[in-house]
Amino acid sequence: MKDLTLAICMYNAEKYIKETLECIIAQTMQDFHLLIVNDCSTDGSVAVIEEFFTQNPRQYEIISFNENQGIGHARHYAERKAMTKYMMFLDADDILYPNAVETMYQKITSDNDLMAVGCYLEYVNEKSKNIGGGIFLGESTKEGFYEKAKNKKLIFMQPTAIYDRELALSVGGYIIEGFPNGKPRYQDYCEDLDLWTRMSDLYKDGKAIIVIPKVLCKYRKIGNGLSSNSFNMIIKMRYTKRNLLLRRDGKKGLTFIEFYESLSKKDMRALKRDAKAADSLRNGVFYLKRKKIFKGTLEIMKSIYYRPEYIFDKLRHNFFKKK
């Protein structure tokens, strides 16, 4: 009986889903249930999938929503639809290396203390070409994780990970309740950070979240790479941190609506400055990498103006970390 579900939550992925499916059937480990959640795509994504598996027979299950509800809702649904002990999500435009599933699965099943195992990601563009950089987050040892969890730190790790679904559900899994209706859908921002951080409470039981310090997946960056609004992500991070501190103090956590309504005008101004500092810094790095020195320097100066300590915080947290 399979004990791993690999889930793809898809919305209008016609251009990339075939390449993602190709990387799945190329995996050295195939003993997993493949679940595809179609979040009311309006393009030809479903037809591409059906044609692909007609030509490349393999077990798969596809569920289609009647209305688009966002990544948070799709993951919430998939997590509860699955019947396996372990779960893994893959974006509909990302590309796994052939040994990715097997490497992470062997690691998490080799140690009962592990509740999630991730990997490093490298950036590729629309044409699947490497563009430099990647996501190199997470602790590679249990001891490193225990230290962070004990000190009430947010747990940053990329979403491409195999995790214990049952343990995740024991702390709420992907949460979609308690958010305002309509857009922006705050439940879609930093949803992985929120889950990993809630799971980190289980460090007291000896459970740990680690990453294998190897690039096992290609993360597709689409668009010009410029940032324009980090506010929604930052406010979701503050919400996640507030609830972490409340839980560790033995208090009940807040819904997002309760948290948002508790913010003062001064709090909101500070969050908006943080967002401007984050956008300017990312844009500055973007321009500098493309040798647009004047634009890059100007954006970084703007970041320092909005919040002087922000750039130093990022440097301290390995903003420019390379594999």
C-alpha span between 317 and 314 (Å, rounded): 5
pLDDT of amino acid 323: 40
Tokens of 54: 């007609």
* Residue located via tokens 């396996």: 84
CATH of the domain spanning 4-220, picked from 3.30.70.20, 3.30.70.1520, 3.90.550.10, 3.90.199.10:
3.90.550.10
**Residue 155 burial (C-beta neighbours within 10 Å; 0-12, 13-18, 19+):** buried
Give 84-123 pLDDT, tens digit per residue: 999 999 999 999 999 999 999 999 999 999 999 999 999 9
pLDDT of amino acid 314: 64
Give 48-64 pLDDT, tens digit per residue: 999 999 999 999 999 99
Give 234-255 pLDDT, tens digit per residue: 999 999 999 999 999 999 999 9
Question: What are the boundaries of each domain within the chain?
Answer: 4-220, 231-316
Residue 49 near residue 62, CB atoms below 8 Å: yes
Name the strand (E) or helix (H) holding 5: strand 4-10
More confident residue, 189 or 310: 189
Tokens of 167: 């343990």
C-alpha span between 305 and 301 (Å, rounded): 6
pTM: 0.90
Dihedrals phi, psi of 62, to nearest 5 degrees: -125, 130
C-alpha span between 62 and 33 (Å, rounded): 11
C-alpha span between 269 and 14 (Å, rounded): 40
Tokens of 25: 């059937």
Rg (Cα) of the chain, in Å, rounded? 20
Average pLDDT, the chain: 92
pLDDT band, very low/low/confident/very high, at 226 (cuts 50, 70, 90): low
Residue 20 near residue 93, CB atoms below 8 Å: yes
pLDDT of amino acid 295: 87
